[in-house]
Amino acid sequence: MVGRMGRFFAVLACLAGLAGLVGCGTFLGGSDKAAKAPGGEAGAHLQAGDAALAAGQPQKALEAYDRAGKAGADEALVLERQCRAQLAGNAYRAALDACRACLSRQPDDPEALYGAGYASLMLHNPTAAVGYLEKALEARPDMTQAARTLGLAHYQAQNHDQAVAVLEKALETGGTDADTQNNLGLAFLSLNRADEAAAAFQASLSAKDSPRTRNNLGLALCQAGRFEEAYAAFVAAGGEAAAHNNLGVCYRERGMADKAAEEFEQAIARNPRFYRRASENLNRLTTSGVQPPEAQPAATAKTAPDQPKAKGNADGAKSGKKPEKKSDAAGTKAGPAPGQSAPESPAVTPQAAA
């Protein structure tokens, strides 16, 4: 039963907040780099680029950094700034190239390592992201955001035990963070530790309300067999019709066909919007018995202000994956920011969204 639930409950990891770091023009360790900035014309161009980046103008920043390089600024320093600007503009391939070029000159630069890790994650290469981020933390152990991103990278790489360990440590050393708690809940859920997942989602909601996280909470409670609580979470995430449909899928996954049918009928009665989806779910029960729902592949990372809130997720580079199959559960797509009015559809293995 747990395995079947897992095939259905594809959850969206929260990449959202992480992108925010670069999206707003800040970068880990920026003050150290400022100290190394040259004076004169090159320094002035670097400062102009930094100001443009802080103002949310990555293209203008790139132009200024290019002028700084031509004026004699340190090449590694310019490349790192270019990586930062490319990340802010969601140009993840270009960002990765710039960070790698910087690392070829300064292999232990923690900022370039973090940038390469973040870009790799957004390019759907969590294994490479793990390598870069671990090196970033070796160079600078107090880099909290790198630790949070590393936890998400482990999660997306299906290293769920490592994800739990890294995310718990990040919360212990870096303080409460709603998105990190959400990602911890996803890791627990993937390990079939439903009650711990629910506790993590509730902790996330205590710090920041989010329809996405409320939907994830509903999934965890369903997996734990706490159906009344799951229904309440689904209602809070997206309303009664979606909640009845999602709860029907929960029951169907447990082989409780009669209860599932009741919930699908309730969804149809409450909102015509769910007529087709709930009817299809109901038809599966009446024509061929309880069938496992089609799995919905991982949601792609998207940039957004919830975590630059890149993420749940800003649209990242295409990964060449096959088109996603539709999920049986009702939900909303991950958008620029997780302030959706309906729950996100349970999806299988994200990518997510650091």
Q: Give the model confidence (pLDDT) of 240-288 as tens digits.
A: 999 999 999 999 989 999 999 999 899 889 887 666 666 677 677 766 5
| Residues forming beta bridges with residue 332, ordered by sequence position | 344
**pLDDT > 90: what percent of the chain?**
63
User: How far apart, in whole angstroms, are the C-alpha atoms of residue 321 and residue 325?
Assistant: 11
Q: Is the pLDDT of residue 111 over 90?
A: yes
Contacts 24+ apart (CB under 8 A), 91-99: 91/58, 92/119, 92/122, 92/123, 92/316, 92/317, 93/119, 93/123, 93/317, 95/119, 96/120, 96/123
Summarize the confidence of residues 195-217 as an average pLDDT: 97
**CATH 1.25.40.10 is the classification of domain 1-20+159-330+339-354:** yes
- Name which of 113-122, 226-235, 267-276 the model is least confident about: 267-276
Summarize the confidence of residues 314-326 as an average pLDDT: 33
* pLDDT tier, 36 (very low <50, low <70, confident <90, very high otherwise): low
Summarize the confidence of residues 86-115 as an average pLDDT: 97
pLDDT reported for residue 280: 73
* pLDDT tier, 52 (very low <50, low <70, confident <90, very high otherwise): very high
| 82-98 confidence digits (pLDDT tens) | 999 999 999 999 999 99
* pLDDT tier, 10 (very low <50, low <70, confident <90, very high otherwise): very low
pLDDT reported for residue 285: 72
Average pLDDT, the chain: 77
pLDDT reported for residue 274: 62
- Name which of 204-218, 262-276, 291-305 the model is least confident about: 291-305
| Exposed e or buried b per residue across 15-32, where buried means at least 16 C-beta atoms within 10 angstroms of its C-beta | bbbbbbbbbbbebbbbee
Q: What is the pTM of this model?
A: 0.76
Spell out the domain ranges in the chain.
1-20+159-330+339-354
pLDDT reported for residue 281: 74
User: How far apart, in whole angstroms, are the C-alpha atoms of residue 172 and residue 167?
Assistant: 9
